[in-house]
Structure 1
Amino acid sequence: MRTDRLLAVLLLLQRRGQVTAAEVARELEVSERTARRDLDALATAGVPVYALRGRGGGWRLVGGARTDLSGLTASEARALFLVAGPASVAAPGVKAALRKLVHALPEPFREQAEAAASSVVVDPRRWGAGPDGHRPPRFLDQLQDAVIRGVQVRLGYVDREGAETGRTVHPLGVVAKGPAWYLVSHTEAGRRTFRIDRVSSVDPTGDPVHRPEGFDLAESWRAIADEVDRRRTPLGARALCTPGELGVLRIAFGGRLEVGGAAADGRIEVVVRGHDEHVLAGELAALVDWVEVTGPAGVRDRLASIGSALVGRYA
């Protein structure tokens, strides 16, 4: 993260002309001691920055506030803002500083830098129990480049059954979901999501992407993930939980738990989602001291069967 901070400090100097260690610390959400070390590091690395001592002092770039950062290449500018994107995992202070300072970039680089800043979402919660490998898929860079440049691509894609198809898509963003990567795109059939490790070929067409008005990658991904979760867990068991044990349910079920309002007796209405009545009943049976399942009937019947079996074996 230090490289990101140093770049952020450099752009902060470009924007303001003069900054204090306290201002840098506040912008990047670090200590003043860390901010001073970063400013010293820029000077040591040969960046033309110098300190003004005394009242009204601070740090300045040689040449004043209009020092040109045109030494950045287009790819470097894109990489810088890719790190700082609103949906990335960079530190909040670094993200905010770099986004505010986009106008410090040379004019030709601004549009793609801003596109890079919103091209990726990181969703740490994984789906299923797939491999833990962290090697990025083969065509990740090419697809991200298409997102940033805003060009359509001809996509070769292999489905779950191993059949390969081709289609032209409008890339809108890429998402890291646990160890897997997905492409969010617009197609003739509407919004579609593709696993990038199943992409077999990428051929940019040069035609511009048609981006839906008001499209936001993070919001779109939340809707996609919610829909996938609903399909993976179509069954919802309704229950009442004692307020003090709601935390236990959150730990046990995570994103499969939906919390409602309070019932007349003070207990909390909840819904626990799952795929199978038998498995879901087994999970809920362990929480019998705190949870009363009110529906559906199939889950309640299975819980009664589990109770009878336990009494028969352990009474």
Structure 2
Amino acid sequence: MRADRLVATLLLLQARGRVTATEVAAELAVSERTARRDLEALATAGIPVYPQRGRGGGWALVGGARTDQGGPTVGGLRELFLLTDGPGVPPSPHEGGTPHLRALERAVVDGTQVRLGYERPEGPPDERIVHPLGLATKAGVRYLVAGTGEGRGAGGLRIFRLGRVTSVEPTGAPVVRPEGFDLATVWRSLASTVEERMRAATVRARAERGAEAALRALFAWRLRLGGPLAHGWMAFEVDGPSPEALAAQLAGLGARIEILAPREAREHLARLAAELAALYGPPTAPRAG
């Protein structure tokens, strides 16, 4: 993806201070023409990158970047800030247009705190100041690893799903990077904790054919699709923190899904339906008398 390539190019510039299009092309396994266009794109985007002519020239990054030529390779730099499932794993369809990805990539690379607007799975959206430390991808879904200063989890570190980010506002304050921070190690720890919590309950259900995209958008890696059923239905299972939380998420699909088990999920969905019908249903006709 070009966005990933641009970030890798910028990281290489930050490590070495000055590079040539030939060096970038060799590191990223692209043509020199593509490397040159990426360098020009960084300059056009407002990043202080400019070409230097003559012998020993190339492209330089203004702002105190190191100029030693023994800096780490792009592969090593990516491990500092960007983790992916590996080559050939595309982003989930509903994540592909994440509008705030570029702003967060920039915050991670620049080491700038941001005011993050975030839509929580349960409860109203909120805003908080976070320290962006890296980006990771799991099953095609992108996440931000950030410090929150709240003292929770791994020393206040949390992960945020990019699909739920509603706003990103740089504060100008520098990121405080924990001593000895290693993105791969922290990601494994946080992701395993979240995964355990999100597998605490399982709901079995059926859905209309064609609802697959909506289900993937809601549950990503927690969704397991089954085989076709009679009358145009398909079976599926989904994991979550509780039957009630899963029922609340599935409620938005209306009659396109039917929860089969467990009983707690069905009862919670029935209560939600009754509450909504009482609030939004047609007014009761007055009695004659």
> Does TM, normalized by the shorter one, top 0.5?
no
Higher RCO (CA-CA < 8 Å; seq separation 6+): 2
Alignment TM class, shorter chain as reference = 0.3 to 0.5
- TM-score scaled to structure 1, two decimals? 0.41
Q: Which of 1 and 2 has greater Rg?
A: 1
